[in-house]
Structure 1
Amino acid sequence: MIHIRFEGRSYDLEETDLGISDRTDNHEIFDRLARHFEVKRDRFDRYVIDRRPSGDYIVRPEAVYG
């Protein structure tokens, strides 16, 4: 499962929706997300991917503190 927080909304996708596996690197995941949402790749420049022990992914804007 890929949980995505994008532009104030939450989305849940299956890995097969994006054609990724546990070997897919973050750069490629962001490329595929940009295609999925039909936006330019740079919209994900300030996002991070948390890979959970369960195998799930959380894609979210990076946290800025202070």
Structure 2
Amino acid sequence: MVHIRFEGRSVDVAERQLGIVTGMNDVAVKEQVARHLDVNNDRLSAYIVDRRPSGDLIVRPEAVYG
């Protein structure tokens, strides 16, 4: 499962639906997510791909604390 947090929205999408396969790097994952969201790749350039121990992915903005 891929959990996407984008512009105040949260959505869960199956990897298969996004075209994400095991071993894809972060850039390729963000390209597939951008395609799914119908936005330019650069809109996700500052986003983080958080790989959970369960195998799930979270694509989210970089958290800034302080």
TM range (shorter): over 0.9
CA shift for structure 1 position 22: 2.2
Normalising by structure 2, report the TM-score: 0.93
| Long gaps (5+) in structure 2 | none
Whether 2:43 is the aligned partner of 1:38: answer no
| % identical equivalent positions | 56
Q: CA RMSD in A?
A: 0.8
Q: Deviations over 1:5-44 (max 9, x none)?
A: 0110100000001111221111001111111111110100
The total of aligned residue pairs comes to 66
Give distance in 2, aligned partners of 1:46 and 1:27: 11
Whether 2:24 is the aligned partner of 1:24: answer yes
Amino acid at match of 1:47: Y
Runs of 4+ in 1 over 2 A off after TM superposition: none
